[in-house]
Structure 1
Amino acid sequence: MSTFPKRPEELYEEVADHLGPEFGETRQACHDAMTKSTALRYLAHYSSAVFDFGLDALGDPPPPPDALPGTTRRDELKRLGRQLGFTVTTLDRSLQEARTGRLIRTVIQTEEGAVFCDSVVPSENVVGLVVDRSATEHREIPLASAPDVRAADQAVAELASTLRTQVRLPSLNPGGWESADLVEPVPSTDSAPEPFTTVLAGPGEDTERLLAACVRAARPDDLHLVAYCSQGELPVMVDHLDHPSLAPFFTQIAVESRRRFYQGFSRELGALAHRLNRTTSTALGGVLVRLVLDIEMGAIYFYRLGPGDYLVGVTIDQNRVVGADDRMAALALELR
């Protein structure tokens, strides 16, 4: 349960000079989101990586008139939002190769909390931040289940959908929260293929243990691919991309082509996580332990196991994003 004070008495709003009355409904929606979610500590709106306005419950006093620009905690958070705007734009271009749609939600979770960057429309993002050390202090808590992280994640996703309705656009269901309770098991079929496995590591007890764990975690229902990466290499990968129930997801790309993309992208995720960790280090702090790249068709997950070692998971079904994330969190807890 969140221990943060009630809202909205302590909310502080900062508005950019260029903002006009056309942002009135957007500002109100963001204010409502902060009022409703006591987990969120900071929430800001960006257009083309330019800061429009921000709300926070940091409790910091307004800067004095003679304060140097760029020296406050709020300035650090504004810089973080700008950097994330540029980063997600670059990532979005890279992810287009998989033909799973554009990047709509990014979750960067560290030992200290998490930052979220959700897309409203291309070049319009909302950025939220939460402080939550519960999964760090209590190792038995799966990272995806840290209570304030999950609550803030849902709040930012709901806000992005609300802002889309203001311009008469349907929700993109970021996080899969809207459909999480509606999903049904994948129907069984006698012709279902065995999981496709890629084992590049040499034989040994560790390889067998990792392979068995990945096979148990991956399934056609939600978590369609699981990989273990170490020092930039991909010793083990298991997937169900060939499952007949997933055939409709491959009308624009061949299974093997998407599989090759995930193999290459998995190797690169460690370096990406390191860069994102540096991006968030000042404003949030702590080692990056979880990363979610939520695209229109599913999500890619990164879970840190140790220095240079991490898990990668993939779902290509947006309705299964929450369930797949929970399975990845449980697997990471098992292997840590």
Structure 2
Amino acid sequence: MVAPAQQSTEILKESHWIPERHGRITELCQEVVASEDSGIRSLSHYSNGILDFVVCRTDRGPLGSTVADAGGELPDESLPGSRLLLCAQDLGGILRPLGTGDLMRTVVANAGGGLWGGRVKAGEFLAALTEKAASVEAMDSMMNTLVSRIRTEVHGLPGELPGGAPDATPGRIAEQALPRIDFGTAAQQGSVDEERLRHLLQSHLNTTDLQYAGYYRDWTLVCVGDVFDAPELGPRFLNISVRSRRSAYRDLSQRLSGHLSRLTDALHLGALPEPGGAPVDRLVLDVQEGAVYVAWTSPSEFVVGVTLEQPQVGNAEIRLNHLTRALGEITARTSPH
């Protein structure tokens, strides 16, 4: 078996870095950045919001944006991750009332690369940056594994399945109940084929993985569907009603606008958008019990998806991506933009 190629790395440490506290974690982070497969430019570690160290590839060039000089190479290199950390803290507060646990993984990406941020445990956060769109998936997978290794090998804590369980079986649509589907004001404003939209939601939503999806144009709802009324999901609504959860996800979709601009700013510190493309193509907010996803069909149109099942986080995003592509195809001819 051929060993994976390794990249040369360097470690930039803050003055409070000590081997007893940070040594093993630094080694694990270095392994990930050194892997050629990861495509990671740099990986930053924070404790209680304070930067501890950054592991970087030595062959990195200047950051892909005009980063203001924050006082040296260490703060400059960690700036995208620091901005992502602040965004994740605020988004975690918005998601907490949904009763699905802490926000433990945030992924934001576009055609120029991506940022990954994750909570290892309370007060401990990792952020990784890649400048290659093709490397976002590998970075995501390797960072999910890294967080689990730090939790189990360093802290003696159980894993939390960030990104879901790789061996989880996706839902079988033919065996699922039909979802509830509603249309918003954007459907009335534009010429949309409601029957085709209804069919798309019915053919993607299910009680196993992707359980909610809403399609928006210019931040106005076109259509939304969910399977929250299914009896098998009853245990998920013991502390929050179906009606309240539906309202909460609609509110979240509207509140994302302001946070998206901050996430975009953080991403653009290290990864420039493709000219004419959406500033962000992909956003994942992975909580302890499921995830919220946002995927763009165009700069002005996006789809919000939800799963409440943590093992199914990966499968739900795959299904949402299929739905998003199909929505983009049928609405391209009728969108007013």
Number of the residue aligned with 2:169: 183
Tell me how far apart the structure 2 counterparts of residues 241 and 12 of structure 1 sit (CA, whole Å).
Answer: 49
Equivalent residue letter for 2:246: R
Q: 1:110: Cα distance to partner?
A: 1.0
Number of the residue aligned with 1:194: 178
TM-superposition CA deviations, 1:15-49 (whole Å, max 9, x none): 11111122111111111222344422211111122
From 159, 169, 181, the equivalent of 2:157 is 169
Tell me how far apart the structure 2 counterparts of residues 330 and 184 of structure 1 sit (CA, whole Å).
Answer: 13
Pair 1:231-2:223 in alignment: no
Structure 1 residues 24-39: aligned runs within 5 Å: 24-36=23-35, 37-39=37-39
Equivalent residue letter for 1:57: R
Q: 1:120: Cα distance to partner?
A: 0.3
Worse-matched range after superposition: 207-216 or 249-258: 207-216
Equivalent residue letter for 2:201: C
Q: Is the 8 A contact 2:114 2:133 kept in 1?
A: no
Q: 1:313: Cα distance to partner?
A: 0.4
Distance 1:196 1:167, change over 3 A: same
Tell me how far apart the structure 1 counterparts of residues 327 and 103 of structure 2 sit (CA, whole Å).
Answer: 28
Structure 1 residues 306-317: aligned runs within 5 Å: 306-317=298-309
Q: Is the 8 A contact 1:193 1:242 kept in 2?
A: no
Equivalent residue letter for 1:28: E
Tell me how far apart the structure 2 counterparts of residues 232 and 333 of structure 1 sit (CA, whole Å).
Answer: 18
Q: 1:274: Cα distance to partner?
A: 2.8
Equivalent residue letter for 2:22: F
From 289, 296, 320, the equivalent of 1:328 is 320
Q: 1:213: Cα distance to partner?
A: 2.1
Pair 1:101-2:101 in alignment: yes
Q: TM-score by structure 1 length?
A: 0.84
Q: 1:97: Cα distance to partner?
A: 1.3
Pair 1:6-2:5 in alignment: yes
Report how many aligned residue pairs link the two structures. 309
Q: TM-score by structure 2 length?
A: 0.84
Tell me how far apart the structure 2 counterparts of residues 119 and 198 of structure 1 sit (CA, whole Å).
Answer: 35
Structure 1 vs Structure 2: percent identity of aligned residues?
Answer: 28
From 280, 295, 306, the equivalent of 1:303 is 295
SS in 2 for 1:43: strand
Q: 1:232: Cα distance to partner?
A: 1.9
SS in 2 for 1:175: coil
SS in 1 for 2:306: strand
Distance 1:255 1:331, change over 3 A: same
Unaligned 5+ segments in structure 1 are: 63-67, 135-147
Equivalent residue letter for 1:183: T
Distance 1:58 1:284, change over 3 A: farther
Number of the residue aligned with 1:79: 79
Distance 1:109 1:123, change over 3 A: same
Tell me how far apart the structure 2 counterparts of residues 182 and 306 of structure 1 sit (CA, whole Å).
Answer: 30
Number of the residue aligned with 2:125: 125
Q: Is the 8 A contact 2:144 2:163 kept in 1?
A: yes
Aligned Cα root-mean-square deviation (Å): 2.5
Q: 1:72: Cα distance to partner?
A: 6.6
Number of the residue aligned with 1:111: 111
SS in 2 for 1:23: helix
Distance 1:221 1:270, change over 3 A: same
